Amino acid sequence: MNSIQNLIELQKIDSQLAEIEELLGDLPTRVTDLKNKEDSLTSDFERGKARLKEIALEQHKTEMNLAEFKEKIDKLKDQLFLVTNNKQYDALMLEIDHLKEELDRSETTELEFLEEKDQLAEQVKSQEQSLESLSKDLSSKRVKLEQALAASSSEKKDLESRREETTKDLSASVLARYNRILSARNGLAVVSLEGKSCGGCGAALPPQLVAEVKTLVTIQNCSICTRFLFWEKPE
Ligand SMILES: [Zn+2]
């Protein structure tokens, strides 16, 4: 195989490799993005659930306090009937007032807990729903990605080893030029003649150059887009 045929072969391989990359597209990035979203939503959700448990415990404690205060107040009220002087009466009333304040405070706290609980329960519920649909989306994308990766990996490996074989016969300078043009020209470094024009950029080529290309022996480049030129001999 002479160099120009190596270059044609190399271009074919690189186009197929690019096609595989395109097939996978941004699927891997999208899977990673979804996974990150799922992680952060899960930790929010878990935090919410933990706080709900905490609130339930606190509520229980507050309820016990309320019952205790009420009981104490009732007992003190009963004692009011048994007092024999004003001093005792005033002392009992002071104690009752103090307990009533405590009772008020506990009732306020209980209301606050109830409000927080309602809000949080709603939040946790909606998080659970989003998490569910996100996980479904993620698992279907993951399956697609795995299938695409599996399907392309053996083909890709095969193409890569063929690429290595093909580049062995090329000089380092030609290969470097090829790689440079490939990345500068959108993955297309080797093009065929179209009549007397470059098949890449369409520029009309000097007759001398066209004749050289048609020998299929030397390596020639388009003077405008710098792509390598070859000629497809008509059957
Ligand atoms: Zn050109």
Cα 4 to ligand 1 centre (Å):
16
Burial of residue 215, with CB atoms counted within 10 A of its CB: 0-12 exposed, 13-18 middle, 19 or more buried: exposed
Per-residue pLDDT at 1: 55
Q: 215: helix, coil or strand?
A: coil
> Does 77 lie in the same domain as 125?
yes
> Does 25 lie in the same domain as 137?
yes
> Does 149 lie in the same domain as 99?
yes
Sign of CA dihedral 161, 166, 169, 171: negative
Nearest to 191 by CA among 212, 222, 157: 222
Q: Enumerate the β-bridge partners of residue 220.
A: 229
> Does 164 lie in the same domain as 181?
no
Domain boundary among 116, 145, 168: 168
Cα 227 to ligand 1 centre (Å):
6
The CATH number of the domain where 98 resides is what? 1.10.287.1490
Domain boundary among 140, 168, 196: 168
Asked if residues 12 and 187 have their Cβ atoms less than 8 Å apart, the reply is no
Dihedrals φ, ψ of 157, to 5°?
A: -60, -45
How many structural domains compose the chain? 2
3-state helix, strand, coil in the chain (%, to 5): 75, 5, 20
> Does 102 lie in the same domain as 71?
yes
- Residues 67-108: pLDDT tens digits? 999 999 999 999 999 999 999 999 999 999 999 999 999 999
Cα 45 to ligand 1 centre (Å):
58
- Cα separation, 192 vs 234, whole angstroms: 12
> For residue 216, what are the domain limits?
172-230
Cα 144 to ligand 1 centre (Å):
39
Instruction: Supply the DSSP string of 163-203, one letter for each residue.
Output: HHHHHHTS-HHHHHHHHHHHHHTTT--EEEEETTEETTT--
> Does 182 lie in the same domain as 163?
no
> Does 211 lie in the same domain as 122?
no
Cα 187 to ligand 1 centre (Å):
14
- pTM value? 0.57
Cα 169 to ligand 1 centre (Å):
25
Cα 166 to ligand 1 centre (Å):
24
- Residues 26-76: pLDDT tens digits? 878 888 888 898 999 999 999 999 999 999 999 999 999 999 999 999 999
Look at residue 235 and tell me if it is in a domain. no
Domain boundary among 168, 189, 205: 168
Q: Which residues of 189-200 are buried (b: 16+ CB within 10 A; e: fewer)?
A: bbbebeeeebbb
> Does 176 lie in the same domain as 130?
no
> Does 132 lie in the same domain as 106?
yes
Asked if residues 106 and 69 have their Cβ atoms less than 8 Å apart, the reply is yes
Cα 190 to ligand 1 centre (Å):
10
Instruction: Write the CB contacts of 67 (distance below 8 Å, at least 6 apart in sequence).
Output: none
> Does 153 lie in the same domain as 223?
no
> Does 179 lie in the same domain as 163?
no
